[in-house]
A and B are shown apart, each in its own frame.
Chain A
Amino acid sequence: MQNLFFTSLLVLTGGSIISLIVQRDTKLSYVSSVFSMFGSLLALIFSIGALITQSTLTTTLPTSFPMFNISLHIDPLAAFFILIVSLIALPASLYGIVYMKQYAIEYNLGVFGFFYNIFLISLLLVITAHNALYFLFVWEIMSLSSLFLVIFENKKLQIIKSGFIYFIMTHAATAFILLSFLLLFQFTGSFDFETIKQHFASIPFVIQTIIFLCMIIGFGTKAGIVPFHIWLPWAHSAAPSHVSSLMSGVMIKIGIFMLFKMFLDILPQTPLWLGYVVLIIGAVSSILGVLYALSEHDIKRLLAYHSIENIGIILLGLGSGLIFIALKQPSLAMLAITAGLFHTLNHAVFKSLLFLGAGSVISQTHTRNIEEYGGLIKLMPYTAIFFLVGAVAISGLPPFNGFVSEWLTFQSLFSGIATSSILIKSIFIFGAACLTFTGGLAAACFVKAFGITFLARSRSIESEKATEVSPLLLISMGTLAVLCLTLGVFSFFVITNIQLIVKSLSLFASKTSSLSSTGISLQVNQNVAHLNMPVIFLVMAVFIALSFGLVYIVSRKQKVVLRTVWDCGFNALSPKMEITATGFSRTLILIFRGIFQPSKQHEIEYVDADIRYFSKSKTVTLGIVNIYEAYLYYPLHNGLSIISKQIRKIQSGNVNQYLLYIFILLLGLLIFARY
Chain B
Amino acid sequence: MSLYSKILSVPLTLVPRKIINQQNDVTIVQKGIEKKIKKLFGGSLAIREVDTGSTNACEQELMALTNTYYDIERFGIHFVASPRHADMLMVTGPVSRNMAEALKKTYEATPDPKIVVAVGDDAIDGGIFKGSYAVLDGVHNVIPVNFQIPGDPPSAMTILSSLLYILNIIDDKSDQKKQ
Minimum CB–CB distance for A570 against chain B, Å = 7
In the complex, chain A residues 563-578 whose Cβ is within 8 Å of any chain B Cβ: 563-564, 566-567, 569-571
B83 within 8 A of A: yes
Known: A567-B105, A569-B99, A569-B103. 16 other contacts (CB 8 A): A563-B108, A563-B109, A564-B105, A566-B82, A566-B83, A566-B84, A566-B105, A566-B109, A569-B101, A569-B102, A569-B105, A569-B106, A570-B102, A571-B101, A571-B102, A571-B105
Residue on A nearest B84 in the bound complex, by CB: A566
Residue on A nearest B81 in the bound complex, by CB: A568
C-alpha spacing A567/B101, complex, angstroms = 12
C-alpha spacing A205/B67, complex, angstroms = 90
B contact residues, range: 10 to 19
- Interface on B for A, CB 8 Å cutoff? 82-84, 99, 101-103, 105-106, 108-109
7 pairs of A and B residues whose beta carbons are closest in the complex: A569-B102, A566-B109, A569-B105, A566-B84, A569-B106, A571-B101, A566-B82
Q: Which chain B residues border A571 with CB–CB below 8 Å?
A: 101-102, 105
Minimum CB–CB distance for B111 against chain A, Å = 8
Q: Which chain A residues border B108 with CB–CB below 8 Å?
A: 563
Instruction: Name the residue among A564, A566, A567, A571 with the largest chain B CB count within 10 angstroms.
Output: A566
Q: Which chain A residues border B99 with CB–CB below 8 Å?
A: 569
C-alpha spacing A569/B109, complex, angstroms = 9
C-alpha spacing A88/B13, complex, angstroms = 73
Q: Which chain B residues border A567 with CB–CB below 8 Å?
A: 105
Minimum CB–CB distance for B91 against chain A, Å = 12
Binary interface profile of A, 540-579, with partner B (CB < 8 Å = 1, else 0)? 0000000000000000000000011011011100000000
Residue on B nearest A571 in the bound complex, by CB: B101
C-alpha spacing A563/B105, complex, angstroms = 10
Enumerate 19 A-B pairs (CB-CB under 8 Å) in ascending A order. A563-B108, A563-B109, A564-B105, A566-B82, A566-B83, A566-B84, A566-B105, A566-B109, A567-B105, A569-B99, A569-B101, A569-B102, A569-B103, A569-B105, A569-B106, A570-B102, A571-B101, A571-B102, A571-B105
Minimum CB–CB distance for A638 against chain B, Å = 60
Q: Which chain B residues border A563 with CB–CB below 8 Å?
A: 108-109
Q: Which chain B residues border A566 with CB–CB below 8 Å?
A: 82-84, 105, 109
C-alpha spacing A567/B83, complex, angstroms = 11
Binary interface profile of A, 245-272, with partner B (CB < 8 Å = 1, else 0)? 0000000000000000000000000000
Q: Which chain B residues border A569 with CB–CB below 8 Å?
A: 99, 101-103, 105-106
C-alpha spacing A563/B111, complex, angstroms = 10
Minimum CB–CB distance for B46 against chain A, Å = 15
C-alpha spacing A571/B108, complex, angstroms = 14
C-alpha spacing A570/B106, complex, angstroms = 10
Q: Which chain B residues border A570 with CB–CB below 8 Å?
A: 102
Minimum CB–CB distance for A144 against chain B, Å = 62
Minimum CB–CB distance for B171 against chain A, Å = 25
Q: Which chain A residues border B106 with CB–CB below 8 Å?
A: 569
C-alpha spacing A570/B103, complex, angstroms = 10
C-alpha spacing A20/B108, complex, angstroms = 64
Residue on B nearest A559 in the bound complex, by CB: B112
Q: Which chain B residues border A564 with CB–CB below 8 Å?
A: 105
Residue on B nearest A569 in the bound complex, by CB: B102
C-alpha spacing A467/B82, complex, angstroms = 36
Residue on A nearest B101 in the bound complex, by CB: A571
C-alpha spacing A569/B95, complex, angstroms = 14
Residue on A nearest B112 in the bound complex, by CB: A561
Q: Which chain A residues border B83 with CB–CB below 8 Å?
A: 566
C-alpha spacing A567/B84, complex, angstroms = 11
Minimum CB–CB distance for B56 against chain A, Å = 18
C-alpha spacing A571/B106, complex, angstroms = 12
C-alpha spacing A564/B109, complex, angstroms = 8
C-alpha spacing A322/B172, complex, angstroms = 85
Residue on A nearest B108 in the bound complex, by CB: A563
C-alpha spacing A164/B102, complex, angstroms = 57
C-alpha spacing A570/B83, complex, angstroms = 14
Minimum CB–CB distance for B52 against chain A, Å = 10
C-alpha spacing A571/B101, complex, angstroms = 8
In the complex, chain A residues 296-330 whose Cβ is within 8 Å of any chain B Cβ: none
Residue on B nearest A565 in the bound complex, by CB: B109
Q: Which chain A residues border B103 with CB–CB below 8 Å?
A: 569
C-alpha spacing A566/B82, complex, angstroms = 8
Instruction: Name the residue among A563, A567, A569 with the largest chain B CB count within 10 angstroms.
Output: A569
Minimum CB–CB distance for B103 against chain A, Å = 7
Minimum CB–CB distance for A559 against chain B, Å = 9
C-alpha spacing A120/B167, complex, angstroms = 80
Binary interface profile of A, 43-72, with partner B (CB < 8 Å = 1, else 0)? 000000000000000000000000000000
C-alpha spacing A501/B103, complex, angstroms = 72
In the complex, chain A residues 553-610 whose Cβ is within 8 Å of any chain B Cβ: 563-564, 566-567, 569-571
Binary interface profile of A, 639-674, with partner B (CB < 8 Å = 1, else 0)? 000000000000000000000000000000000000
C-alpha spacing A563/B84, complex, angstroms = 11
Q: Which chain A residues border B82 with CB–CB below 8 Å?
A: 566
C-alpha spacing A566/B109, complex, angstroms = 7
Residue on A nearest B103 in the bound complex, by CB: A569
C-alpha spacing A564/B108, complex, angstroms = 9
C-alpha spacing A100/B148, complex, angstroms = 68
C-alpha spacing A570/B105, complex, angstroms = 9
Minimum CB–CB distance for B153 against chain A, Å = 23
Minimum CB–CB distance for A571 against chain B, Å = 6
Minimum CB–CB distance for B102 against chain A, Å = 3
Minimum CB–CB distance for A358 against chain B, Å = 38
Minimum CB–CB distance for B125 against chain A, Å = 23
Instruction: Name the residue among B103, B105, B108 with the largest chain A CB count within 10 angstroms.
Output: B105
Minimum CB–CB distance for B47 against chain A, Å = 17
Minimum CB–CB distance for A569 against chain B, Å = 3
Residue on B nearest A570 in the bound complex, by CB: B102
C-alpha spacing A12/B144, complex, angstroms = 74
Q: Which chain A residues border B109 with CB–CB below 8 Å?
A: 563, 566
Minimum CB–CB distance for B27 against chain A, Å = 37
Minimum CB–CB distance for A276 against chain B, Å = 60
